[in-house]
A = this chain, B = another copy of it.
């Protein structure tokens, strides 16, 4: 094993351990010492890879988003039209709920922190804005290919993002309250009912 491989392994051990600790005890309550113990690394090794506990969280957050991005891109590339693409994206929702399950406690804490810390807020808000722009661009493509009515793409995209945020939050708080994957598909179907050109 090369030094670089060992470094990557250590990094990935730290991330796995942090994910477990944050999910079980919450972000605030988890200390760097606890993450190191679970990852079986020294504090020196930890701080070689991450400047702060927050940096570990941000890396986890970004990896979670990357997973979503890949699924959305895949759904889009497989579809022959924009409405079909949006429906395929909605059917990926179950995977997003599963990946988030047990970890959203930490996102909730982070949202709380975001209210008091402008730097954290920027990190949290950037992906919302990015998804809004991404969906807006997809809706524009749908208007151009004449499968969608000529609505305001930014408005329709904002509605979809808010819906997704609400579904994820409720799905995490009340996993048994509904079949959230199915609810997401139904939601997109109702929206498309209004957006699609007949």
Residues of chain A whose beta carbon lies under 8 Å from any beta carbon of chain B: 26, 104-105, 108-109, 111-112, 114-116, 121, 124-125, 128-129, 151-152, 155-156, 158-159, 161-167, 169-170, 172-174, 177-178, 183, 186-187, 190-195
Number of copies: 2
Residues of B within 8 A of A177 (CB): 125, 128-129
With A115-B104, A165-B166, A166-B169 known as contacts, the answer to whether A183 contacts B158 (CB < 8 A) is yes
Return the contact of A166 from the options B109, B161, B194 (Cβ within 8 A): B161
Please name all residues of chain B whose beta carbon is closer than 8 Å to the beta carbon of A173 when the two chains form the complex. Answer: 111, 114-115, 121, 124-125
CA distance A42 to B146 in the complex (A): 68
Report B-chain residues with C-beta under 8 Å of the C-beta of A159.
163, 183, 186-187, 190
Given contacts A104-B115, A108-B115, contact A162 B183 (CB under 8 A): yes
User: In the complex, what distance in Å separates the CA atom of A95 from the CA atom of B166?
Assistant: 19
Other-chain residue from B156, B178, B190 in contact with A151 (beta carbon distance below 8 A): B190
A95 to chain B, nearest CB (A): 18
Identify which of B156, B165, B178 contacts A170 (C-beta below 8 A). B165
Rounded to whole Å, the gap between the CB of A197 and the closest CB of chain B is 12
A sample of 30 inter-chain contacts (CB < 8 A) reads A26-B112, A26-B116, A105-B112, A108-B115, A111-B173, A112-B112, A115-B172, A115-B173, A128-B174, A155-B183, A155-B190, A156-B190, A158-B183, A159-B183, A159-B187, A162-B163, A162-B167, A162-B170, A163-B163, A163-B166, A164-B166, A165-B165, A165-B166, A165-B169, A166-B166, A190-B194, A190-B195, A191-B191, A193-B194, A194-B194
